[in-house]
Structure 1
Amino acid sequence: MPLLQSISAPVRFYTSLLVTGGVFAALDAGTCVLRLSMPEGPRRRRMARRWLCTMARLAVGYLHRAGILDCDMAALTTIAQRRNLVLVANHPSRLDCLILASALPHMVCVTKASIWERGVLGSTLRTAGYVRHDSLLKIIGPASQSLREDCQLLLFPEGTRSRAGAQAGPIQPGFAAIAQRMRADVQVVLIETQSPYLSQGWPFLRRPPLPMRYRITLGPDFCAPSRDEASGRALIDAVERCFQKKSSPQDGEDLKNT
């Protein structure tokens, strides 16, 4: 058994919160250097995304070694270098974006305004070109710009985190409108977990059962939809069916038994 995992679960968990906080502080310090040393533009945003990916990998790697997180994300290697791609994922936890960012160096995420405006993590997201989620009309421009810069645009179309064990909720149509406008393919990303940690209503400091097990798989890869209403509606319905199928009880049992 690795040395870190021989320590009691409560000590490992609360220590991991401190370590992760330190990683985020270093992340912000690095992006501060970028803002001071480089002019705003595509190159600075690209460097900030690489830095964010590096620090996310550091955090996720530590959580693995400490026995806090057991995450199978091998499927993401097949899309890590694809560009001009819209990613749509279900959203069971606040850890989702951290896990995906650790494997996808070109990812830009549409994030809640409350996170985008935070003094700590928010400054990094702004520097990396992440998109603030306001209304659909306000996100289409920045989201389209990220695709023009050959990024992968990640959206959580449910609009909020789900509650542990709950069915996926109805999805919002914004991702389809962006894909239609930019003629971008759409890749479904399915995040499976039985851990309730940081799902909707779960307190940050409350320790969950450890390790927290995650499995990330790829759903269908849809070709860029045409710009007519029927194509957009068909894409939205297809993605919603993918989410609902993956949130069925038997899928949760499959994950528990892996």
Structure 2
Amino acid sequence: MMETIQNKSNKSFNYYWRLFATGLSFTVFGLGGIVLGIIFFPILLMIPNKKICRKIARSAIQKCFFFFIEFMRMMGVLSYQTQGFDKLKQRRGLLIISNHPTLLDVVFLIAFLDDVDCIIKKEIFKNPVMMGVVRAAGYIANDAQNPEELIMNCVDRLSNQTNLIIFPEGTRTQTGRGYQLQRGASNIALRAQSPIVPILICCTPPTLRKGERWYNIPPQKMHFSLSVQSDFPVLNYSDSNAGIAARQLTIDLTRYFSERLPNE
């Protein structure tokens, strides 16, 4: 009886500690973003050479994201393991696609991938705190009203040997709906003829999903697993009509993720 009460007490303490530590982690992240966004990154924008500005900015963001992940790990909020990221260090011009189960996915990917491009909501470029960050890093604005320009911007970055992260679902995976990929990533890959490198992300127990708040923490510490997969062949689709090829590639990528990941 006493042992049962003690176990419940330990579980309760662990839960409330992780709740506190999660809130503290996101507070640190937010405050750090404000300080860097108002002071450091606007100064970077004064560098005349945009390539140097981007390189410094992306390196700073990568280090900050890695610190954030390690802070959460040391606080007992999460654990993680990665596989295969080393084999991407010397490769450029890659279209890196991933499933999107949680709020932290882009943080993990940027933390473990060097000098990568990504697509950011257009509204962030107007945010007074974040605009300096995303502009210094040279990220791509997601202009939903002009998808053709967005695709060409992405193709241009890949052609210039930049690695680009895309979540083909367009948003976090919606529980119960499975993997519903949009055609944008396929169109970009086919036009640029860039290698597609899938990365599989799993989070157990599921948390920080679409519609969940930061305080909706799971009963146990969340564990992230990120695994870099072999290239997905693009040349197999080159002989088809562009629209048909993009549609078929999207179908095959959807099947690829569905077969290798838990049913969301």
The two structures have a TM-score, normalised by structure 1, of 0.83
Q: Is 1:120 aligned with 2:129?
A: yes
Look up the match of 1:86.
95
Name the SS of the counterpart of 1:56 in structure 2: helix
In the alignment, residue 10 of structure 1 is paired with which amino acid?
A: L
Structure 2: gaps spanning 5 or more residues: 1-13
Aligned 8 A contact 1:177 1:232 in 2: yes
CA distance in 1, matches of 2:135, 2:205: 30
Secondary structure in structure 1 of the residue aligned to 2:196? strand
Q: Give 1:40 deviation, angstroms.
A: 5.8
Tell me by how many angstroms 1:169 deviates. 3.1
For 1:10 and 1:48, locate their aligned partners in 2 and report how far apart those are by CA, in whole Å: 31
Residue-by-residue CA offset, 1:161-215 (whole Å, 9 max, x unaligned)? 1135x35332111112212222211111111113443311102344344422111
1:155 to 2:169 alignment: no
Would you say the 8 A contact 2:195–2:233 is kept in 1? yes
> What does residue 218 of structure 1 align with?
228
Q: Is the 8 A contact 1:80 1:106 kept in 2?
A: no
| From 182, 187, 203, the counterpart of 2:192 | 182
Q: Distance in 2 between matches of 1:120 and 1:158?
A: 27
Which residue number corresponds to residue 242 of structure 1? Answer: 256
Paired residues of 1:196 and 1:202 also in contact (CA < 8 A): no
**Max radius of gyration: which structure?**
2
Q: Share of identical aligned residues, percent?
A: 25
Provide Cα deviations, 1:23-80, integer angstroms capped at 9, x if missing partner.
32344233222113x0262222222111111111111111111111212123222223
Contact kept in structure 1, 2:22 and 2:215, CA below 8 Å? no
**Shift in CA distance, 210/75, structure 1 to aligned 2, threshold 3 Å:** farther
Check the 8 A contact 2:121/2:142 in 1, yes or no.
yes
Counterpart check, 1:12 vs 2:21: yes
Q: Distance in 2 between matches of 1:163 and 1:173?
A: 17
Which secondary structure state, in structure 2, belongs to the residue aligned with residue 221 of structure 1?
coil
1-structure distance, mates of 2:45, 2:57: 9
Q: Partner residue of 1:173?
A: 183
Listed as ranges, the matches of 1:1-258 within 5 Å are: 8-28=17-37, 29-36=39-46, 38-39=47-48, 41-135=50-144, 136-164=147-175, 166-225=176-235, 226=238, 228-229=240-241, 230-249=244-263
User: Which sits farther off after the overlay, 200-209 or 129-138?
Assistant: 200-209
Question: Is the CA contact (8 Å cut-off) linking 2:205 and 2:218 kept in structure 1?
Answer: yes
Q: Is the 8 A contact 1:27 1:51 kept in 2?
A: no
Cα 1:167–1:46 change in 2 (3 A) is same
2:69–2:108 contact (8 Å) kept in structure 1: yes
Q: Is the 8 A contact 2:22 2:214 kept in 1?
A: no
Contact 2:200 2:226 in 1 (8 A): yes
TM-score normalised to the size of structure 2? 0.81
User: Does the 8 Å CA contact 2:117/2:139 hold for their aligned counterparts?
Assistant: yes
